[in-house]
Amino acid sequence: MEPFRFHVFVCDQEKPEGVPCCAARGSGQILEALRREVNARGLEDEVQVTVCGSLGLCEHGPNLIVYPEGIWYSGVTPADVPEIVRSHFQEDTPVERLARTDPAGLRAEILTNRQKMFAARRAREAAGVLPDDLNDRIRGFQESRAVLTGLELDLFTAVGDGAGAEEVAARLDTHPRATEMLLNALASLRLLVKRDGVFHNSPAAARYFTAGSRDNARPALLHTAHLWHRWSTLTDCVRAGTAVAHDEIAGRGQDWTEAFIAAMHRNASERAPLVVRAVGAENIRRMLDVGGGSGAYSIAFAQANSGLRADILDLPAVEPIARRHIQEAEMGDRVQVRGGDLRTGRLGEGYDLVFVSAICHMLSPEENLDLLRRCREALVPGGRVVIQDFILEADKTAPRFAALFALNMLVGTRGGSSYSEPEYSGWLGEAGFREIRRARLPGITGLMIGLRSR
């Protein structure tokens, strides 16, 4: 059964460096050209394009198969794609000059390649060659660094609707040779597509990395670029037991703070509906959002309950950013910000909910116990503290995101880390909370909830 008039499988297999494969021979450009051409001719509901693994003809790639006829095309170039789409999909005439027409020869070639591949794999195994997945993990920083540099330079915006390397270099005021090297590397990562020497943004890069796009994530992603410098000190931090290049958030530049809060806001806006649903906004008259950042959570709670008033406590440098978000949400009458230090002093009183989101990980265990005691004092009897964070399983090796985030805190804070459910339960109990429970949320964060009973 084939529900589409045509179903095209395009091999996009990557193989180890130096081994022929469709990905290295440009299958990404074929895919891009195919999707563009199919859409341009209004055939998107007739022709299904599917990416697949090796078809066994790696030396002749890029390869694709068209069903229902089972026509194999080899050595396809982007220039061939319009002809395939027109002739094969619109005129029902396969392109003979590209099609393999000898099934027996094709089968023999594939079986021979398979034997070669097995033999090469056995030889690598016997020689003790580092497995590819291990190697990829070790060198993963190269890909990350190339993308971050692209973001730092705002290169994807400079590429715009298409530009050559010299043009991009002129727009960015960077070195032409080096800019071309970076552009080529980003094209190898499929964030750009190079056609006739002109670079174009991939659909994902255009959507998420360029100024003017509604979903531009660059301002938030610059926070990751800032973290890069911290992570370079990890070895020294492990020796020292704490951050070696420590600068408190208040001492960082406004650029850092803007990018940091933008990153927090992006996550928070996505997660706020989940949190509001899990906690419930009804029966809350007053909430305190400790280290509330952009205010995304307070705004979401206030939007869910028109009788709810929220106070955000954050550093003075963050106050104007939070005000901006509150104003945009037209919540100025019910959501307030106050500058202060969550590490010391009273947090206020009379709250039904104290929300502590993504705060505990930047504090030491002693600081968390102290903070939770002050949270309890700020609550009315029957009020709840809700902690949101990356919660580790008891042995602290999972989930992976939380285990790695512990290192993010090691390189960036004096005493922060990711913490486990037993640790949170212990502090909450010691701080005097009752009915302590964990609420699991979809995604990377979870909630720990405690009740002030009297």
The secondary structure of 102-114 as a DSSP string is -HHHHHHHHHHHH
Q: How far is the CB of 312 from ligand SAM (least distance, A)?
A: 9
Q: Is 164 in the site for ligand SAM (CB under 6 A)?
A: no
* From 179-187, 239-247, 338-346, 425-433, span contacting ligand SAM (CB under 6 A): 338-346
- φ/ψ region of 327 (left if φ > 0, alpha if ψ in -120 to 50, else beta) reads alpha
275, 287, 299, 318: which one binds ligand SAM (CB under 6 A): 318
Q: Is 441 in the site for ligand SAM (CB under 6 A)?
A: no
The pair of structure tokens assigned to 115 is 């034997």
Nearer to ligand SAM, 28 or 293 (CB): 293
**Cα–Cα distance, 68 to 341 (Å, whole number):** 67
Nearer to ligand SAM, 21 or 326 (CB): 326
Q: How far is the CB of 239 from ligand SAM (least distance, A)?
A: 26
341, 349, 366, 393: which one binds ligand SAM (CB under 6 A): 341
**Cα–Cα distance, 314 to 379 (Å, whole number):** 18
Nearer to ligand SAM, 89 or 405 (CB): 405
The secondary structure of 333-390 as a DSSP string is TTEEEEE--TTSS---S-EEEEEEES-GGGS-HHHHHHHHHHHHHHEEEEEEEEEEE-
Q: Is 78 in the site for ligand SAM (CB under 6 A)?
A: no
Q: Which ranges constitute the DSSP H helices of 66-102?
A: 81-83
Nearer to ligand SAM, 265 or 286 (CB): 265
Nearer to ligand SAM, 205 or 447 (CB): 447
Chain mean position to CA 167: 29
Pairing of strands 286-290, 309-314: parallel
Nearer to ligand SAM, 315 or 403 (CB): 315
Q: How far is the CB of 369 from ligand SAM (least distance, A)?
A: 16
Q: How far is the CB of 256 from ligand SAM (least distance, A)?
A: 11
Q: Is 268 in the site for ligand SAM (CB under 6 A)?
A: yes
**Cα–Cα distance, 25 to 20 (Å, whole number):** 7
Question: Residue 268 — φ and ψ, nearest 5°?
Answer: -65, -40
State which of positions 184-213 bind ligand SAM (CB under 6 A): none
Cis bond before residue 68 (omega within 30° of 0)? yes
Nearer to ligand SAM, 65 or 264 (CB): 264
**Cα–Cα distance, 97 to 315 (Å, whole number):** 68
Per-residue CA distances from 365 to 15, 68, 362, 368, 433 (Å): 46, 63, 10, 5, 16
183, 264, 281, 331: which one binds ligand SAM (CB under 6 A): 264
Q: Is 418 in the site for ligand SAM (CB under 6 A)?
A: no
Q: Is 249 in the site for ligand SAM (CB under 6 A)?
A: yes
Q: Is 343 in the site for ligand SAM (CB under 6 A)?
A: yes
Q: Is 391 in the site for ligand SAM (CB under 6 A)?
A: no
Q: How far is the CB of 341 from ligand SAM (least distance, A)?
A: 4
Q: Which string of x and - marks every residue 213-242 that binds ligand SAM (by CB under 6 A)?
A: ------------------------------
Contact 354, 378 (CB under 8 A): yes
78, 292, 412, 416: which one binds ligand SAM (CB under 6 A): 292
Residues 6+ apart with CB under 8 A from 195: 29, 78
Per-residue CA distances from 254 to 12, 32, 250, 257 (Å): 43, 40, 9, 5
* From 104-112, 137-145, 335-343, 404-412, span contacting ligand SAM (CB under 6 A): 335-343
Q: Is 357 in the site for ligand SAM (CB under 6 A)?
A: yes
Q: Which residue has the tokens 């939007």?
A: 303
Size of the site for ligand SAM (CB under 6 A): 16
342, 387, 447, 449: which one binds ligand SAM (CB under 6 A): 342
* From 116-124, 179-187, 227-235, 289-297, span contacting ligand SAM (CB under 6 A): 289-297
Nearer to ligand SAM, 199 or 301 (CB): 301
Which H or E element spans position 34? helix 27-40
Q: Is 314 in the site for ligand SAM (CB under 6 A)?
A: yes
Span between the terminal Cα atoms of the chain, in Å = 67
Give the binding site for ligand SAM (CB under 6 A). Answer: 249, 264, 268, 291-293, 313-315, 318, 341-343, 357-359
